[in-house]
Structure 1
Amino acid sequence: MKLVSYRRDGKPGFGAVAGEAVVDLSARLPGVADLASLVADAAALAQARQIVAGSSGDCPLAQVELAPVIPRPGKIICVGINYVAHAAEAGRTVGEYPVIFQRYAQTMVAHGAPLIRPAVSGHFDFEAELAVVIGKGGAHIAPENAMQHVAGYTCFNDASVRDWQFHTHQYGMGKNFRGTGALGPWLVTADEIPDYRELTVQGLLNGESMQKGKLSDLAFDIPALIAYVSRALDWQPGDILATGTPSGIGFKRQPPVFLQPGDTFEVVIPGVGTLSNPVVNEEA
Structure 2
Amino acid sequence: MGREDGNSTGGSDREGRRLRRGGWWFRHPAFTRVHLEYLEAGADVLVTSSYQATIPGFLSRGLSTEEAESLLKRSVRLAIEARDKFWASVKRKPAEYNYNRALVAASIGSYGAYLADGSEYSGNYGPTVTLEKLKDFHRRRLQVLVEARPDLLAFETIPNKLEAQACVELLDEENVEIPCWICFSSVDGENAPSGERFEECLDIINKSSKVFALTAKAIVVYPNSGETWDGIAKRWLPSKCFDDEKFELFATKWRDAGAKLIGGCCRTTPSTIRSISKILKESS
Q: TM-score, normalised by structure 2?
A: 0.28
Judging by fraction of residues, say which structure has more helix.
Answer: 2
Normalised TM-score (structure 1): 0.28
Q: Which has the higher strand share?
A: 1
